[in-house]
Structure 1
Amino acid sequence: MPVLLLTALLTAAGSAAGQDLAQEADSARAAVQQLRQVMLQQLQTSVREVGPAEATAVCRHLAPELAAEIAAETGWEIRRPALKARNPDNHPTELERGVLLGYLTRSLAGQTFEEMETVRLVEQDGRPYVHYMRAIPMLDACEVCHGSNLPSDVAARIAEVYPQDEAVGFRAGDLRGAFSLLRPYDPAKAPEVRGPRLPAVPAGTAAELPLGPPGKLGDPVAGRDLFGRHCLSCHDAGDLSTHLYQLGAEAPRRDVCVFLQTHGLTDEARDCDIVAYLKALSQQAPK
């Protein structure tokens, strides 16, 4: 049976379905965060210890294992489809391809990847499912395996393992692919939301915090929202604030807003907002 949007079901369910889907989206984001965080940590460790060529095994073996574990815990079936796939298993379905093409068009029009998230009800084999997708941007660190000029040992290893590889020629800031999550929809069951939550900005924090560089200010409230969009997938806000700031001591170099290296997804002004949020958290952390 073709995969169809359950427009009629959404219309009939009204705001209740919208609320349910909002909860489903929270649960899906947490599952994505869990997968990304472990994968990035393992990939960085492997690149450091055995080099990029051998580190390709992380994506090949670890991602399916983690996805299976998360599926067992949460019920989410997780895929990473791409228009240009490395693993043939990651070629998109008809439903996924349509969303990916939409993301690609929007990215070429200048939209940021933070806006590229989709959650909707679909029908598959006569049953309703929640389908969630979120764009995956190409980061600087990924160019060694997905860029235009791969090191010879990396290219040889990829050709050996993935003879039908299409996932090269990317530049930082391109659309690399997307996370695609699917699970049965039952509005009677509230989905369990896993993963970290963003700490609130401490009460009494100034609307704008002065930062190290003269004249630099940051909005911690805006920074909290930006952290949730850009950073929560890989970092815990409390841990990062403690790491960047020694409690009770000023560290001006840590206030340099571009220090955060948000991979071009934000500009310097918004980086300053993220810094202000982390600085506000550090000032309330227990000594």
Structure 2
Amino acid sequence: MKKILFTLLAGSFLASAAMAQVTGLKPTLPGGNIPAQPFLFSVNTLTGNSAYWAVNASSNYAQRSAGAFGYDGADQQIAVKGYLGNRFTLYANADLGFANNGGVASAQQAEIIRDFVGGKQAYGLRFGVGLGANRDFLSVGALFSRITASFESPRWRMGGNLRLEKAFAGNRDGIDLVTSFGFQHRLAGPVFAGFEIMGQDLEGFWEADEAEGGAKLLIGPSINVAPQNSRFSFSVSGGPVFYATHSTAALSGAIRDIGNVAAQNGYTLRAMVSFNLRRY
């Protein structure tokens, strides 16, 4: 309970700090800016007139949903996101987890995504495909492909991902399937609110021995604040984790947003602060 209160207090402090920053950025929303990463469980692409480079710092607390980034304990992640030009987006992160039992583990991941539809303007439809690689908590390497789709307007936004991953270990699945979707509507000024949904290891619906414990689902609220004239933006999301199927496979160290143990239902709560490195 103390860890939960600490995480919430830390998130509130960071949000207050974000609201207080004034650096003269050009406003792009009524009362706010376009954030580099509005959703926590879906990766979006950048454009030439949205954030060029940003550093994201996120903190996660979870129970009964072990594994990154739904670590069963406290989890910290640092990510770098940048626009490479010609509709290419780079996204890389490093994750450090502090388990409830005292253990510490780390994982790294990097990918490049290119928009093939849209991607030249911040508003409108965008559709992209990307490739990436990671090293998980058990030092197993993997390659993955991410399909992204999003639509943004001054008053509302939505985005989703479909991810296919191949881990290079004999005890892992042939292909892992992860999908996500988020929607947010502007409430007032720079404040957007909505929901996020994630379906993880969906191959568990047809594979009884799915390597990450079975298919898992998450649905919960999502809030993003990107104040006008500020390089900071703040996001928070989370909710209950439902284990839709169960497998008999042992726990793997695969990188997963909402955990990889199908023992019982749990929850995860995640907060993130993003700092734009470059002015518009």
Q: Which interval holds the TM-score relative to the shorter structure?
A: under 0.3
How does the TM-score come out when normalised to structure 1?
0.24
Bigger helix fraction: 1
